[in-house]
Amino acid sequence: MSDAFIPFHRPSIGSREQEAVRKVLESGWLTTGEQTRRFEKRFARFVGVRHAVALNSATAALHLAMDALGVDEGDEVVLPTYTFAASAEVALYFRARPVLVDIDESTMNVAPDAVERAITARTKVIEVVHFGGLPADLPAIERVRKKRSGRGSEGPPYLIEDAAHAFPSRIDSMDGRYAGTIGAANAFSFYATKTLTTGEGGMLVTDDDRIADRARLMRLHGISHDAWRRYARGGSWYYEIEEAGFKDNPTDIASALGLAQLSRANRLRAARARIARRYVDELNDLADGGRLRLPKAGNADEHAWHLFVIRLVVDRSRDIDRALPGVVGLPGALQPLATARARVIEALSAAGIGTSVHFIPLHLHPLYRRLGYAAGDFPAAERAYAGAISLPIWPGMTDRQISRVVRAVRSAIGA
């Protein structure tokens, strides 16, 4: 690939993936079928759970998790404001209330003490987002969850893990279990930018038979038999509609791609970790000098490195001479930082480096302002957002490309 432009992301697709998809196309069966069954079984075995239910997105996995746990109108779902739209919007599908909380600025994951303060008698779910691939502090959150009764006599709130960023990362403090396997029901993403991709796709995982059965029923219109069982040799045309379900099933094309990617998952994670180490080694002097904040690394295989987010540190007293994207909606004290961030992104783009920003905190968006949130509500999330820039990190990056990114960052911040 030419060094003229280094994209923010490029999927790692090789001959194994291409051959797997070709076989499905030639098989004559494209929708949910045998490849999906195999993908579910192998994924469940890989992460060490009883059930994996393949879906067309992680959003669907979060939705079906809340459905299976009985989230309903008036319930509350506690989650960090520093996340993508899907994490909170699924609560709104049930007319439940997303209760947004602040983050731990050092990890960019949800702050356990903020979760504890947010739990009320109406809390049905605590939804933990593992930001960037680094597992959140689940031991602390589990202690909070178990000692706070959010649902009266029913017991503590349920835990759902939004592990969209976190495959495959382990939690050393929980006997090396994979992030995304601790909660009652949990969601993984196979979106195009993820370590394991099916283009679009997701997986709900659980050890609870009831949750798995409910998710399998609801992912395809609430009918008693899917198409593969009806149309396969010896299948029956008869089915019954048991619930008003959804259209969340994956294709066998996607599942075949997922199977091929799964066989390479640890190598793909290791490739991302190699890039992260290079970035840390070559930018650490800027962190030591107070110019940048680098992402916190886990131990060994504890970090999936879905994202590598640097955060600018600037003199916030500087005047702003022009408005740039990222300034609107933030408190005035953070506007110089957001302006500096926008200028660095412009400089990186001019140098041929693709970047992104993860994420605009939910409470700054119009939807959540209408729900009563406002700028200033979550200072740690706002500070993190104002200076955040996500650098390219994908398995096929060459040493030359990594060096180009580093040089461009140093030049853009004047170092």
Contact 68, 210 (CB under 8 A): yes
Exposed e or buried b for every residue in 51-73, given b needs 16+ CB within 10 A?
bbbbbbbbbbbbbbbbbbbebee
Contacts of 258 (CB under 8 A, 6+ apart): 39, 43, 54, 190, 196, 197, 198, 201
Is 147 noted as a catalytic residue in this protein? no
Residue 129, exposed/middle/buried by CB under 10 A (0-12, 13-18, 19+)?
buried
If we measure between CA atoms, which residue out of 140, 388, 117, 363 comes closest to residue 128? 140
What's the token pair of residue 118?
């947010």
Would strands 97-101 and 76-80 be described as parallel, antiparallel, or unpaired?
A: parallel
Nearest-angstrom CA–CA distance, 77 and 385: 22
What's the token pair of residue 413?
């911040």
Residue 26 three-state SS: helix
What are phi and psi for residue 146, nearest 5 degrees?
-75, -25
Return the amino acid letter for 112.
Answer: P
If we measure between CA atoms, which residue out of 247, 270, 296, 261 comes closest to residue 188? 261
Cα 275-178-219 angle, rounded to 5 deg: 105
Question: Pick the catalytic residue: 41, 146, 147, 194?
Answer: 194
The secondary structure element, H or E, covering residue 116 is helix 112-118
Residue 359 three-state SS: coil
Return the amino acid letter for 22.
Answer: R
Nearest-angstrom CA–CA distance, 226 and 333: 55
Return the amino acid letter for 267.
Answer: R
Contact 133, 408 (CB under 8 A): no
Dihedral over alpha carbons 365, 368, 369, 372 (to 10 degrees)? -160
Q: Is the omega angle on the peptide bond into residue 156 within 30 degrees of 0, that is, cis?
A: no
The secondary structure element, H or E, covering residue 67 is helix 58-68
Residues catalogued as catalytic: 194
